[in-house]
Amino acid sequence: MFAIGFSSNKLTNTASYHSRRNNTGAGAEIGTEGPLGRILTRGERGWDIIDELKPLPTEDVIDKPGKGSFMGTDLDLILRTNGIKRIILGGITTDVCVHTTMREANDLGYECLLLEDGTGATDVGNHESAIKMVHMQNGVFGATAKCEDVCAFLDANRFDAPDNEAAIVPNAKPFPFTIRAKKTAIVMIDWQLDFTSPNGFGAALGNDCEILRKEALPNAVRILEAGRKAKCAIVHTLEAHKPDLSDCPPSKIRRCDKIGQIVDEKMGRILVKNEPGNSIEPLVAPKPGELIVHKPGKGAFYNTNLEFQLKRRGVETLIFTGVTTEVCVQTSMREANDRGFECIVADDATESYFPEFKKYALEMISSQNGIVGWRCLTEDVVGALSS
């Protein structure tokens, strides 16, 4: 629940605003001396939240420089980190800070409910119109309700009700890992022919591709199938550039001039979207409804909408398989970890052309109490998903 803009400044400065309305331009008074210290200035008395709504020590307080509560603040990060998808808005003024916040939240994918009698504006017409605008076009910005109805609903619905059975991966390193299948995605990193085929990119760089297909691919198949059965979200990534390579930084081409070139006619242009080599191994081919992410970088989150797609599905936990361990798998896990996902990789469902790099990449991931995430074996994760 948000309480927006209940600072003492807003409640006490209306009169002074009218007496100074000949000042040049909106906001001309900000920072000047008012009855409660400098107007809209952090640390002044007018900046305090009114006594009736004093925050508890455990509640978040967002100092916001704009009208909206998201621009230039950590609010989105705080909400997403806590898995929050629905927000109830109260505060002042309905038409300015509350509405701007609701519009920002709506664009970010939150479901928003505005409290009709828990908001207010200096102009009744503006307040009423702001409420009406929310309802336009089938709820263009969300919904509205009366405080009494919302309180009755909140009283009847505990927030901490379990929504999903948890399964434990007991042998995970560095310590047991919890999976809730409905909040989990299986992330299949770059199982594309460019890396796995003897005629692909990896092979053109002189690597032995058989090593990727020998054990890791069959184990990835087992995890994928267990994830499908458990109704996890399924994500397939491909390292793939646009045909004009406009999403490929010159630095990447400078260090790998094969990108965009043809080494084997049957495979087409290397690492280019929709070329034959840029298709997924048939054994782990995507099914309808599964997410396919074409990523121009090594990480699955760079320049893609993967974070948005996962968060809108309520995903909190990621199970990784894929190639190569130390490049795209590890980069994606690091990116996911920074975004607040709990990540685990199955050692025997990922592979590298370089056994030593695989070994140390996996050790790096789970070192320091799981600094990037967890590791386990395929059988552990399949067991947890099937329980």
Q: Is the dihedral of CA 129, 133, 135, 138 positive or negative?
A: positive
Query: Bridge-partner residues for 108, per DSSP?
Result: none
Active site residue 347: no
Nearer to ligand C5J, 233 or 327 (CB): 327
Residue from 44, 104, 116, 239 binding ligand C5J (CB under 6 A): 239
Q: Is 45 helix (H, G, I), strand (E, B) or coil?
A: helix
Give least dist CB 40 to ligand C5J, A.
50
Residue 136 burial (10 A CB sphere; 0-12, 13-18, 19+): exposed
Active site residue 328: yes
Active site residue 295: yes
Cα–Cα dist 366/177, whole Å: 12
Nearer to ligand C5J, 328 or 344 (CB): 328
Which listed range, 52-60, 68-76, 149-157, 319-327, lies at the site for ligand C5J (CB under 6 A)? Answer: 319-327
Site string for ligand C5J, 324-343 (x = CB under 6 A): x--xx---------------
What are the structure tokens assigned to 34, written together? 């008012």
Nearer to ligand C5J, 195 or 374 (CB): 195
The active-site residue out of 97, 209, 328, 343 is 328
Cβ-based neighbours of 281, under 8 Å, separated by 6 or more: 191, 192, 193, 196, 213, 217
Could you tell me whether strands 317-323 and 342-351 are parallel, antiparallel, or unpaired per DSSP bridges?
parallel
Which listed range, 58-66, 73-81, 162-170, 322-330, lies at the site for ligand C5J (CB under 6 A)? Answer: 322-330
Cα–Cα dist 169/223, whole Å: 13
Q: Is 133 in the site for ligand C5J (CB under 6 A)?
A: no
For residue 79, give the amino acid letter. Answer: L
Sites for ligand C5J among residues 273-302 (CB under 6 A): 298
Helices (H), 230-300: 250-255
Answer whether 344's CB lies under 8 Å from 315's CB. Answer: no
Sites for ligand C5J among residues 158-177 (CB under 6 A): none
Q: Is 190 in the site for ligand C5J (CB under 6 A)?
A: yes
Catalytic residue numbers read 190, 295, 328
Positions that interact with ligand C5J (CB under 6 A): 190, 195, 239, 298, 323-324, 327-328
